[in-house]
Amino acid sequence: MDSLLKHMVDMTGHRDHTMLDISVISAVQELANASQTRVLSLVTIRGKTFVRPRASIRAGEVAHMVENNDPHQPGEPLTSLAPLAHCISHHESSADIVNDVGGHTLWLPIWMGDKCDTCLEIINPTPYTSDTIHVIGGIVSVYRNFQNLLDYSERDSLTGLLNRKTFDDQLAKMLAASTDSHSVAVLGEPERRSPRDQEKQWLAVVDVDHFKLVNDRFGHLYGDEVLILIANLLTSSFRSQDRVFRFGGEEFVVLLRSTTLENAKKIIERFRMSVAAHDFPQVGKVTVSVGFVSISALDAPVMILGHADQALYYAKSHGRNMACHYDELVQEGLLQAVASNDTAEFF
């Protein structure tokens, strides 16, 4: 019981999802005496659900996060794990099988209402006793409640998007990913692809055009509805690996993972056009302006945001309803590059 209490204290002491994942699999691994425990993400892309490990621990090893190094590979199709697929589609609390090597695999989906985007997977050489299932069931409940609480503190209450507070952390993760690709370049490996083909991470700042007029003409309730609908268009326009934030007011920030300049432009333009084509109830037509920039680990976050803001400012002062790329504006001499981290002078 001491061990259970120790794990509960550990799990509830974290303030971020990564550490919570690590502590839940450490707890389950020890208490179920399992040979392997994993946290799986369930990601739905264009109606098809994929399963991808997020954190993993094996007997005698330390728990670790599982990095998804290939953003184009969403994971294993859920349909290839038939018992789990059945369990999810019937909203059940668990599924178990005897696997190919005679081990016992137990899946415990983490339900948040009628949605499930996380599942625990426990593999054991022997069948699970009712005591073990009872203890694991308790841990899963604490894990679910705590995930709910973390989600609540990380999300903007109007749109459900990630809030400003979580941005620094997510940007740091993307910068770390961009360091890896940069280190290949500085080690002197010949660059085979042209800079236009090179995959990079991107940051885009999106701002609703003349939003004050929307509020003034139609009132704040309709203004709020416009923000919610734009948030929906943002989440449906970008991929599940990308991150969308509401920065406050009518400003949103998107972090796009590994894509070429060509694709980044295409995705951002598609979003801008889908807003312009949308019929907003009562309000009618609304447009957005976007400033975007590639993310480099060599730049400070304030610098990256400053550059995207400069490109946004350019779009705002050149007709709005357009997406501008910072580097192109600099190359064309339309914007001056900022050499210091202090971008305040531009605004």
Catalytic residues: 250
Return the range that interacts with ligand GTP (CB under 6 A); candidates 42-50, 61-69, 105-113, 216-224: 216-224
From 170, 316, 328, 330, residue interacting with ligand GTP (rule: CB under 6 A): 316
Give min distance, CB of 312 to ligand GTP, in A: 9
Among the listed residues 21, 121, 209, 309, the single contact to ligand GTP using CB under 6 A: 209
The contact mask relative to ligand GTP for 250-279 (x = CB under 6 A, - = no) is x-----------------------------
Residue 335 as a binder of ligand GTP (CB under 6 A): the answer is no
Specify the residue, 52 or 320, whose C-beta has the smaller distance to ligand GTP.
320
The candidate with the shortest Cα–Cα distance to 132, out of 61, 30, 39, is 30
208 belongs to the binding site for ligand GTP (CB under 6 A): yes
State the nearest-atom distance from the C-beta of 235 to ligand GTP, in Å.
Answer: 17
- CA-to-CA distance for 298 and 200, rounded, in angstroms? 13
37 Cα distance to chain centroid: 23
Under the criterion CB under 6 A, does residue 121 sit at the interface with ligand GTP? no
Kindly tell me which of 199 and 251 has the beta carbon lying closer to ligand GTP. 251
Residues 6+ apart with CB under 8 A from 13: none
Work out how close the CB of 182 gets to ligand GTP at its nearest, in angstroms, rounded to a whole number: 34
* Residue 189 to residue 167: CA distance in whole angstroms: 32
> Which residue from 127, 249, 281, 319 is in contact with ligand GTP, where contact means CB under 6 A?
249
Tokens 């970008």: give the residue.
Answer: 238
* Least distance between ligand GTP and beta carbon 113 (Å): 25
Closest CA to 328 of 179, 195, 207, 209: 195
**Contact between 218 and ligand GTP (CB under 6 A)?**
no
Q: What gap in Å lies between CA 312 and CA 291, rounded to an integer? A: 4
Rounded distance, CA 152 to CA 89, Å?
A: 26
> In the bound complex, what is the minimum distance in angstroms from residue 269's beta carbon to ligand GTP?
19
- 96, 207, 242, 309: which one binds ligand GTP (CB under 6 A): 207
Q: Say if residues 106 and 23 touch (Cβ distance below 8 Å).
A: no
Helix (H) or strand (E) holding 310: helix 301-317
How far is it, in rounded angstroms, from Cα 221 to Cα 243?
26
Question: Using the rule CB under 6 A, which residue among 223, 229, 295, 309 binds ligand GTP?
Answer: 223
- Coil, helix or strand at residue 99: coil
* Candidate residues 165, 220, 285, 318; the one interacting with ligand GTP per rule CB under 6 A: 220
**Piece in contact with ligand GTP (CB under 6 A), picked from 31-39, 96-104, 222-230, 333-341:** 222-230
| Nearest C-alpha neighbor of 204 from the set 259, 152, 276, 279 | 259
42 neighbors 119 (Cβ within 8 angstroms) = yes
76 within 8 A of 82, measured Cβ to Cβ: no
The answer to whether the beta carbons of residues 332 and 340 sit under 8 Å apart is no
Residue in the shown chain whose Cβ atom is closest to ligand GTP: 223
| Binding positions for ligand GTP, rule: CB under 6 A | 158, 207-212, 215, 220, 223-224, 227, 249-250, 316, 320
